[in-house]
Amino acid sequence: MRIVVGSGSCGIAAGAGKVYSALEALVDNSNVTLGVTGCIGMCYLEPIVDLYEGDALRARLVRVAEKDAENIVKTAQTGDLSFVENLIISADDEGFLSQQTRIALRHCGVIDPTDIEDYMSTDGYKAIEKVLTTMTPEDVIETIKVSGLAGRGGAGFPTWFKWNAARQSKGEEKYLICNADEGDPGAFMDRAVIESDPHNLIEGMLIGAYAIGAKEAVVYVRAEYPLAIKRLENAIARAKAKGLLGQNILGTDFSCEMRIKAGAGAFVCGEETALIESLEGSRGMPRLKPPFPAQCGYWQKPSNINNVETFANVPWILLNGGEAFAAMGTENSKGTKVFALTGKIKKGGLVEIPMGMTLREVIYNIGGGIKDDKEFKAVQMGGPSGGCIPKELLDTVIDYKALGATGAIMGSGGMVVMDESTCMVSMAKFFLDFTAKESCGKCVPCRIGTKRMLEILTRITDGEGKEGDIELLEELCNAIKDGALCGLGQTAPNPVLTTIRYFRHEYEAHINDKKCPAHECTNLITYVIDKDKCKGCTLCAKKCPAEAITGTLKNPHEIDINKCIKCGQCRTVCKFGAVETI
């Protein structure tokens, strides 16, 4: 039997490395082997260990700890699952995967990302072989056109059009670039794909390079992804050793080198022209367009840029045909989309679904609903560049057009779920704080406008909002959207505009009533003790760092609001729900 430990960053953070070490110390039987795989997507169940008999999955074990290693090895040696029956995944949790349609993630959590032979056993590199031996570059571009594949980095621009533009541009020296600079808070799709299936990315990029006529490919990946970089470096070396990268690939006249550039973590470098500036060694700042990268990109040569997920779809499309991909999704949004499902959700992780599924289906059917069964309030789509979609629009279908109509965007795939305890004004401030700090400062609307907006939002959440602030925010939002140079500035107002659009009453409560309806903004809440609920256990008084709580044993206590620093310790430790906020 084969023991496989999920060893993506999420699994390792949850303790998979320690589990692997404990298993390694016990596996000395020739009929038991130990291996690793990437992230299957069920991050909420990590560490995950799979047991295989041949190619068949015998059991998936979840929330595994070091202490479970001995019983896992016994099961592997004997085939008796009774040793690990308390660890076997439930039928309900199996539904997390069974309700998905996986293309970009099809190998993630299944193959060993460090072993090229494992990838090749699943038809890996068959697509590039087919392309190089039976197709012209124009044939490849036509297949991508038929598939309807749109760029998965956020804008949803037709992939074939970008490829064709670069193909048609004059010049022998062209470049293909993968944008793996994933900077949205709560997004980790690209990281998981690179860590779990690096050869799929390489193959997709090779096909793209052949299509546009590029002899050099670059993966621009954020330096905060050390495991992804390590596994991609290994994959590139293995592919070169197999004759799948470098000169005369697979014995043909097509040659392509590939290298990695580690970015310094600037969010603005997710914008393609800022990324190019960074690649060239300059500060990451966007360029004026036109000219577009397809005509004048890296070193002023024709260049094509797509993100990780876009390239991850390409080998499947070339093997199965553009029509097969186009058969999934909606009329204007074809195929599948990967999302990082995070926030106040029971089952957080990576999901890949056909376009056209509703937000409700993703959040409640796949994600299991809201943590602690609280009330769903909103979902942030598209990261700092996106918007908040309220519960009234929970049945919105997931495609570019429908999400755009709500004021949000598809984005790269972040999906942050919020419950009734989330203050929407504070949420808007959080995302605007991020974009204001990440602004490159090149253009005035973004550099100055986002700071002015952040100042107003901070004043409102501090209880110092005044009449006219909402209207001023809206005016600034529109000015920034119209005047900013690049996508960062143009989309920065989205969280503010959507929260005003759908949660204006919360802004008004902050400004007019000096109250935070969600009881989140510290300056707008007061802690009190319900004397009918208080049992006089004294625990809150003992934990209060400001000594603001008084009372005697077995008698109701009281909070001195003049001393209270609103740290919330009293509410956290109270076992009777006696501490409330007003």
* 384 and 322 assigned to the same domain: no
Host domain of residue 570: 526-581
Q: How far apart are CA 205 and CA 578, in angstroms?
A: 59
Runs of H (alpha helix) within 197-260: 198-212, 226-241
pLDDT, one tens digit per residue, over 384-428 is 889 999 999 999 999 999 999 999 988 888 899 999 999 999 999
Proportion of the chain above pLDDT 70, given as a percent: 100
- Looking from the CA of 120 toward its CB, the CA atoms found within 13 Å total 10
pLDDT of residue 155: 76
Mark which of 419, 440, 459 sits at the end of a domain.
Answer: 419
Lowest mean pLDDT among 293-297, 355-359, 464-468, 520-524: 520-524
Strands annotated E in 38-154:
49-53, 56-61
Amino acid occupying residue 286: P
CATH code, 361: 3.10.20.600
pLDDT greater than 90 at residue 13: yes
Shared-domain flag, residues 221 and 150: yes
Specify whether the backbone of 288 is left (phi greater than 0), alpha (psi in -120 to 50) or beta.
beta
3-state secondary structure of 201: helix
Is 80 exceeded by the pLDDT of residue 29?
no
Whether 99 is covered by a domain: the verdict is: no
Helix (H, G, I), strand (E, B) or coil at 514: coil
Of 482, 513, 544, which residue sits at a domain end? 513
C-beta separation of 515 from 506 below 8 A: no
Q: Residue 116 has which token pair?
A: 């090229």
CATH code of 473's domain: 1.20.1440.230
483-522 confidence digits (pLDDT tens): 999 988 999 999 999 999 999 999 999 999 999 999 999 9
Which structure tokens are listed for 261? Answer: 């550039």
Tokens representing 111 are 């193959």
Based on the fold, state whether residues 388 and 536 are members of the same structural domain: no
Report the domain count for the chain: 5
Q: What is the mean pLDDT of residues 554-569?
A: 93
What does the pLDDT look like over 440-475, one tens digit per residue? 999 999 999 999 999 999 999 999 999 999 999 999
Q: If you ran DSSP here, which 8-state letter would residue 464 be given?
A: -
pLDDT for 28 equals: 81
Is the pLDDT confidence value at 187 over 90? Answer: no
Q: Residue 384 belongs to what H/E stretch?
A: none
Average pLDDT, the chain: 95
Single-letter amino acid code for the residue at 134: T
Does residue 214 share a domain with residue 309?
A: yes
What percentage of residues in the chain have a pLDDT greater than 90? Answer: 93
CA distances from 234 to 141, 194, 199, 239, 373 (A): 29, 11, 10, 9, 44
Question: Quick one: residue 334, left, alpha or beta (phi over 0 = left, psi -120 to 50 = alpha)?
Answer: beta
The half-sphere exposure of 199 on its side-chain side, counting CA atoms within 13 A, is: 30
The pLDDT of residue 499: 97
Name which of 433, 449, 437 is nearest 485 in CA terms. Answer: 449
Q: Mean pLDDT, to the nearest integer, of 349-358?
A: 96
